[in-house]
Chains A and B, each alone.
Chain A
Amino acid sequence: GAVVSQHPSWVICKSGTSVKIECRSLDFQATTMFWYRQFPKQSLMLMATSNEGSKATYEQGVEKDKFLINHASLTLSTLTVTSAHPEDSSFYICSARDSGKDRNTEAFFGQGTRLTVV
């Protein structure tokens, strides 16, 4: 079946540095990808919608200058957490659907990236 792959699976970074997370659709094209954040014992919260070739759409309360999203190709979206702080420590998950299908598209999720800012 279709697979969405994230890299890295986990990362530890120092406060003030930036971290890039990659999300790839392995066997389908995705003009739109979605980024979620999940804190312990909580549900997934949609952060932003990544659009290939155009600007991302951010949910209310999500700082676009802090969470930079680039969707340079139909199979790759990246999320960069800039000037990371301990409160940015979380589980980041991407999702995508096959853009080649107009409807009845299952959403596939990456395995997630555990970010720890120290």
Chain B
Amino acid sequence: LAKTTQPISMDSYEGQEVNITCSHNNIATNDYITWYQQFPSQGPRFIIQGYKTKVTNEVASLFIPADRKSSTLSLPRVSLSDTAVYYCLVGSNQAGTALIFGKGTTLSVSS
């Protein structure tokens, strides 16, 4: 499975846009890029998934360049409740395949 590298931590203020970039230089052709959010003492929660170009949903956008060696999670207008750990994962999205977690990025949002 492709290894991912993301910043250990980021700080932001309420109302700002936050962009978290993840590097995955060894991504395979069939790999998808998925981002999860985790609050303390809770299981991870799916945010967004993409294969290439741009994906947008009600909570975030995911930007993937043509070479797919990196991706950027964009959180518009963050609030205090967005303080969490964000994980970038790369791998197959088939049912029998486990997700392998990297270290994640701890996002701290202040008022």
Q: Point out residues on A near B: beta carbons under 8 Å.
A: 4, 6, 30-32, 34, 36, 43-46, 49, 91, 93, 95, 97-99, 101-112, 114
Contact = CB atoms under 8 A, between A and B. Distances in A.
B46 A107 contact: yes
Nearest to B99: A107
Interface of B: 34, 36, 41-46, 49, 87, 93-104
Nearest to B32: A104
Contacts, number: 65
A109 to B, nearest CB: 3
Q: Name B's interface SS.
A: loop
A75 B45 CA distance: 20
Nearest to A100: B95
Contact of A93 (B43, B87, B102, B103): B43
A29 to B, nearest CB: 10
6 contacts: A34-B99, A95-B98, A97-B96, A105-B95, A107-B34, A108-B46
B94 A46 contact: no
A6 B42 CA distance: 11
